Structure 1
């Protein structure tokens, strides 16, 4: 796995020794479109990094999928509540296209933290980014108009519009497919 991914380029404070130790614990996985990385009802045992492809996190409510986040190349993802709490997950993580990920087991990560405190700091930064993204999404869905939510998605995450289905985007933006179609038709 060494040197074929640059997952830590965004964290310049991480030392080479920690990077090498982390990379030794990774394995890679190729998931077909529609394949699940994580499934509701099971404890999430991995932190993932998307090398190629994309994924979405979603919940099921009344037999409908509600998309809560999208992840693209160069991003970490996991079912965070389950990964941290060690309780069964509420969410599913699905590949939106053929997707290659690198992953590390929860237990392996904890062992690395004991030896590499700079890696623990990097993990904290990953968690902070996750939290900020989650809070932005919450504010985004509660205080902006449907049109503004779609325009923000176009501005800040245009690749999502190219890769996700209209239904996935609509549930992510907390609107109906019809509303999303009207908005798209006017832009």
Structure 2
């Protein structure tokens, strides 16, 4: 669990006792590229921490694969709406490469919250970050040109450019592969 320690570096005020309790609820596993962590139509049972590797969240609309987010090393991911509401998810989450992942069940997380309320603060911080990214993505797609969206992705999430396929990036940026290729050729 060497990569697990990086998880709590983001929450330095969490007590060692709370960290140990949380760790006791974690499962560590490795998966290959293309593994579905979450599947559309099922209730999201786990909050994942991608210690090493990457994943993408996407949904299918009118037979189109639409990427909504990317998760890279040392980031959390789940189908958040489903995880919180306990309703079936509309999204899929798949790994983009061989990945080392930790997961905690919804029930395990709730148990940790009861025993260690300080973990709720860490979780709230995760949710706040998730919300900020979502809001920025909405603004990003509505008010920026295709070129501006690509340049911002290059600036703020350059690893995505190297780890995701051109089609996934184009989908995420809400443009065609051809438009993305033209933009890349001019940069």
TM-score bin (small chain): over 0.9
Looking at structure 1, the residues matched to 77 and 32 of structure 2 have their Cα atoms a distance apart, in angstroms, of: 17
RMSD: 1.0
Task: Give deviations 1:86-112, integer Å, cap 9, x for gaps.
Answer: 000000000000111000000010011
Task: Give deviations 1:7-52, integer Å, cap 9, x for gaps.
Answer: 0111122111111110111001211111100000000000000111
Moved more, 5-14 or 38-47: 5-14
Aligned length: 187
Partner of 1:75: 75
Unmatched 5+ stretches in structure 2? none
Looking at structure 2, the residues matched to 3 and 99 of structure 1 have their Cα atoms a distance apart, in angstroms, of: 12
Unmatched 5+ stretches in structure 1? none
TM-score after normalising by structure 1: 0.97
User: Which structure 2 residues correspond to residues 1-187 of structure 1 after superposition, within 5 A?
Assistant: 1=1, 4-187=4-187
Deviation at 1:5, TM superposition (A): 3.4
Task: Give deviations 1:111-150, integer Å, cap 9, x for gaps.
Answer: 1101111101100000000000000000000000100000
Moved more, 156-165 or 22-31: 22-31
Looking at structure 1, the residues matched to 176 and 78 of structure 2 have their Cα atoms a distance apart, in angstroms, of: 27
Q: Which runs of 4+ in 1 moved over 6 A?
A: none
TM-score after normalising by structure 2: 0.97
Are residues 166 and 2 of structure 1, via their aligned partners in 2, closer, same or farther at CA, if it must alter by over 3 Å?
closer
